[in-house]
């Protein structure tokens, strides 16, 4: 009996061009056809009559029906085709074995499959009732067709597998969802995809656990970046274990198909919110008895609270690819393009992302870097913004000792990735570089961050503290997590201006708010420890920073107020090269006014604006600079009388006698 039924092989489906590949589904559909044909023969024997009255006559005709089925030639032949020898192969057979379906329930399922798949069966259903107005299958018809009609009652019990697993749909009409019917009949694979073959890691403890059959439905969360290769990771774990894992959408059929196939299931996509996980939980809730592990790739553990506790299994972290693994994938995608090793170090991309980059076909290292940055899609959710780098190293004027210290910091940033990945320096830390620039306003701290970006080629992002700090408990930490998680994707520089607002000292917890403020600082300490990129903290209130950050800072650089020599260099280089400054006495300005570089740049900008308003020729005079200096000193509440400007006081209108 373990073969496909065709119309020309005796009992089977009714349509001549319909073949049911699944052995057990085909067999039970064939049994349904036989019983329908017998019932139709009996209805013809009774002749036309009132369908409602026929229901009252069932008991009176019961003995006559039995005698007819035994004595009528056609009915007797059809009865001889019935069998108790159901095949033990096929999807319906596996369902029966794993979920305890009775023979009557298998028959009901076969009848429902016939109604869904074989459109010619509608006329037979009507003939079996002697009622042209009811051309469909119902449980009452199944009860009439099955020899022990009371056994069919279980099929309508919501606690029994047919309804509980969604094999048949609730309602008066006996129906199977189209996708479920196609799967059970062997006409589709249920939308499942096999995980790609990779080198097995069958010796791991996780692989050994996954080789066993779960007692019931178990949900295991996979944590990792949104682009992490969850399918590749699981394929490696299942390789050689003797148990399969497939991938499919979040729908009942996917779980049913995996359960029938004896496989575990990886749900496609990434669940990033509690609401999305609640939707997954609703699909899983009615299928608790399936002996299937379901893997859900989650972006953060917060969403797991939406899963019922009885379904929740272990949480597994997907390990990120190493720089060597990324380099290998880049070489597979791009061949021997120069600079692949450095790109693999700086961009923490996943296999799918690298494959997409390979399809774009970058022809040079610069093109590859640009494509990688686009692929990373750095979106800080409004918590940080990119900063355009306009300054170079020669623009940053510092005393000799500080300048040397700054150059060491630049060199450390430049060599950090190579030390971590090529020299196995990760044993000594995360490979990240954290810097603190301290000093009064205008001494070059922000410019210093831009210079590091220019010298190393790393993109610079300024963290918006006003958006990060949130009055609601726990939200600040979530915002910080978003920033660091995004920044880990691509090696970049995070610039925290006014750092004391985030990195302030912890305090004795006298109130609940104090405790939560301390939690924010502790979280920052932990992320600074593990962050693999570059972070630059700038503050003019260093004493307000928590002392615990000092160990995590690779370099602490004090930006002093420039001396006369540094001020002169700043003055001489502050104006654009095409602007004529022959009339400006830079020596006098540097000697007379003890101000920082930021104030000098503000003066130069204001002087340039006034000069540009007078005409098209790019020329700034000493008078322009002196007036702008007077305005800047007034803003600072600094001495700005005639004595401050010496021989030039007469150039300022309000100082003239």
- Chain segment 99-121, per-residue pLDDT in tens: 889 999 999 999 999 989 988 88
Output the six-digit token pair for 309: 């506790």
Q: Which of 191-205, 481-495, 502-516, 526-540 has the lowest mean pLDDT?
A: 502-516
* Per-residue pLDDT tens digits for 67-103: 777 777 777 787 777 888 888 888 899 888 888 899 9
pLDDT grade for 296, boundaries at 50, 70 and 90: very high
Residue holding tokens 């220019």? 454
- Mean pLDDT over 473-484 rounds to 79
Which residue in 571, 559, 480 sits closest to 526, CA to CA? Answer: 480
437 and 465 share one domain:
yes
Rg of the chain's alpha carbons, rounded to an integer? 39
pLDDT grade for 455, boundaries at 50, 70 and 90: very high
Task: Give the strand pairing for 433-438 and 555-558.
Answer: parallel
What is the per-residue pLDDT for 69?
A: 75
- Mean pLDDT over 212-235 rounds to 85
Q: Does a structural domain hold residue 211?
A: yes
Q: Does a structural domain hold residue 572?
A: yes
What is the per-residue pLDDT for 294?
A: 93
166 and 37 share one domain:
yes
274: three-class secondary structure by DSSP: helix
Backbone angles phi, psi at 401, to 5 degrees: -65, -40
pLDDT grade for 570, boundaries at 50, 70 and 90: very high
* Per-residue pLDDT tens digits for 361-393: 888 888 888 888 888 877 777 888 889 898 899
Greater model confidence, 4 or 434: 434
Average pLDDT, the chain: 82
Q: Does a structural domain hold residue 385?
A: no
Backbone angles phi, psi at 494, to 5 degrees: -100, 125
311 and 341 share one domain:
no
89 and 138 share one domain:
yes
pLDDT grade for 214, boundaries at 50, 70 and 90: confident
311 and 329 share one domain:
no
160 and 58 share one domain:
yes
Q: Does a structural domain hold residue 384?
A: no
What is the per-residue pLDDT for 203?
A: 52
Q: Does a structural domain hold residue 381?
A: no
540 and 640 share one domain:
no
638 and 514 share one domain:
no
Fill in the DSSP letter of residue 169.
B
We report the CATH number of the domain holding residue 301 as 3.40.50
We report the CATH number of the domain holding residue 523 as 3.40.50.300
Torsion sign, CA atoms 478, 479, 480, 481: positive
Q: Is the pLDDT of residue 5 over 50?
A: no
Q: Does a structural domain hold residue 213?
A: yes
Q: Are 353 and 330 in contact (CB under 8 A)?
A: no
Q: Are 25 and 182 in contact (CB under 8 A)?
A: no
* Per-residue pLDDT tens digits for 136-163: 888 888 888 888 888 888 888 888 888 8
What is the per-residue pLDDT for 169?
A: 86
Which residues partner with 619 through β-bridges? Answer: 580
160 and 273 share one domain:
no
Among 510, 537, 558, residue at a domain's last position: 558
Output the six-digit token pair for 636: 């600072």
pLDDT grade for 508, boundaries at 50, 70 and 90: very low
Tell me the C-alpha distance between 434 and 409, whole Å: 9
What is the per-residue pLDDT for 220?
A: 92
Among 558, 590, 615, residue at a domain's last position: 558
Considering the entire predicted model, what is its pTM?
Answer: 0.65
Output the six-digit token pair for 293: 């592990």
Angle ∠(298,304,308) on CA atoms, nearest 5? 135
Fill in the DSSP letter of residue 428.
G
What is the per-residue pLDDT for 600?
A: 92
* Per-residue pLDDT tens digits for 264-294: 999 998 888 889 899 988 888 878 878 899 9
Tell me the C-alpha distance between 580 and 129, whole Å: 105
Q: Is the pLDDT of residue 1 over 50?
A: no
We report the CATH number of the domain holding residue 607 as 1.10.8.60
Greater model confidence, 412 or 202: 412
- Mean pLDDT over 506-531 rounds to 61
Domain count for the chain, please give it: 5
* Per-residue pLDDT tens digits for 620-635: 999 999 999 989 988 8
What is the per-residue pLDDT for 6?
A: 39
What is the per-residue pLDDT for 202?
A: 46
Q: Does a structural domain hold residue 38?
A: yes
Among 298, 317, 336, residue at a domain's last position: 317
What is the per-residue pLDDT for 431?
A: 62
What is the per-residue pLDDT for 12?
A: 59
Q: From the DSSP assignment, how many helices (H) and strands (E) are in the chain? A: 29, 12
pLDDT grade for 3, boundaries at 50, 70 and 90: very low
Using alpha carbons, list the distances in angstroms from residue 234 to 296, 311, 572: 11, 20, 62
Q: Does a structural domain hold residue 2?
A: no
Q: Are 106 and 146 in contact (CB under 8 A)?
A: no
21 and 133 share one domain:
yes
113 and 44 share one domain:
yes
552 and 599 share one domain:
no
Instruction: Look up the domain containing 51 and give its range.
Output: 7-184
């Amino acid at each position: 009996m373990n073969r496909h039924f065709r119309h020309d092989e005796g009992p089977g489906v009714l349509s001549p061009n319909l073949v049911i590949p699944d052995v057990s589904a085909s067999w039970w559909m064939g049994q349904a056809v036989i019983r329908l044909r017998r019932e139709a023969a009996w209805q013809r024997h009774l002749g036309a009559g009132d369908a409602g009255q026929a229901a009252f006559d069932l008991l009176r005709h019961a003995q006559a029906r039995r005698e007819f089925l035994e004595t009528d030639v056609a009915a007797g032949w059809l009865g001889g085709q019935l069998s108790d020898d159901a095949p033990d192969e096929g999807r319906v057979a596996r369902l029966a074995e794993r979920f305890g379906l009775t023979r009557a329930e298998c028959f009901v399922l076969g009848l429902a499959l016939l109604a869904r798949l074989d459109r010619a069966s509608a006329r037979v259903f009507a003939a079996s009732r002697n009622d042209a107005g009811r051309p469909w299958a119902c449980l009452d018809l199944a009860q009439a067709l099955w020899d022990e009609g009371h056994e069919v009652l279980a099929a309508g019990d919501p606690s029994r597998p047919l309804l509980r697993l969604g094999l048949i749909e609730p309602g008066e009409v006996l129906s199977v969802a189209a996708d479920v019917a196609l799967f059970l009949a062997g006409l589709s694979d249920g939308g499942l995809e096999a995980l790609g073959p990779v080198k097995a890691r069958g010796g791991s403890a996780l692989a050994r656990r996954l080789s066993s059959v779960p007692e019931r439905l178990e949900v295991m969360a996979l944590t990792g970046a949104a682009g992490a290769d969850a399918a590749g990771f699981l394929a490696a774990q299942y390789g050689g274990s003797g148990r399969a894992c497939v991938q499919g959408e979040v729908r009942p059929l996917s779980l049913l198909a995996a359960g029938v196939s004896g496989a575990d299931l990886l749900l496609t996509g990434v669940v990033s919110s509690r609401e999305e996980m609640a939707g997954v939980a609703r699909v899983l809730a009615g299928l608790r008895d399936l002996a299937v592990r379901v893997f859900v790739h989650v972006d953060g553990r917060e969403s797991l609270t939406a899963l019922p506790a009885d379904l929740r299994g272990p949480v597994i972290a997907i390990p990120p690819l190493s720089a060597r693994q990324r380099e290998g994938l880049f070489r597979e995608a791009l061949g021997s393009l120069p600079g692949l090793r450095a790109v693999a170090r700086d961009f923490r991309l996943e296999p799918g992302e690298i494959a997409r980059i390979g399809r774009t076909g970058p022809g040079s290292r610069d093109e590859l870097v640009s494509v990688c940055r686009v692929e990373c899609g750095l979106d800080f959710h409004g918590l940080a913004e990119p900063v355009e780098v306009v300054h170079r190293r020669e623009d940053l004027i510092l005393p000799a000792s500080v300048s040397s210290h700054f150059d060491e910091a630049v060199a450390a940033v430049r060599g950090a990735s190579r030390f971590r990945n090529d020299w196995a320096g990760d044993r000594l830390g995360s490979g990240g570089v954290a810097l603190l620039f301290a000093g009064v306003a205008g001494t070059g701290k922000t410019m210093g961050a831009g210079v590091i970006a220019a010298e190393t080629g790393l993109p610079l992002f300024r963290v918006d503290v006003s958006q990060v700090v949130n009055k609601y408990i726990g939200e600040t930490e979530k915002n910080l997590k978003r920033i660091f998680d995004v920044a880990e994707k691509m090696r970049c520089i995070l610039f925290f201006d006014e750092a004391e607002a985030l990195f302030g000292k912890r305090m004795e917890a006298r109130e609940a708010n104090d405790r939560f403020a301390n939690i924010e600082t502790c979280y920052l300490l932990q992320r600074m420890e593990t962050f693999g990129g570059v972070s630059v903290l700038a503050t003019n209130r260093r004493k307000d920073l928590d002392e615990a950050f000092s160990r995590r800072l690779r370099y602490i650089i004090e930006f002093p107020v420039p001396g006369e020599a540094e001020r002169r260099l700043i003055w001489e280089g502050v104006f654009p090269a095409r602007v004529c400054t022959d009339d400006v006495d830079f020596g006098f300005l540097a000697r007379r006014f003890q101000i920082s570089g930021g104030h000098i740049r503000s003066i130069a900008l204001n002087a340039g604006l006034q000069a540009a308003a007078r005409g098209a020729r790019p020329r700034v005079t000493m008078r322009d600079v002196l007036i702008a200096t007077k305005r800047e000193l007034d803003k600072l509440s600094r001495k700005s009388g005639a004595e401050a400007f010496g021989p030039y006081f007469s150039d300022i209108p309000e100082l003239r006698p």
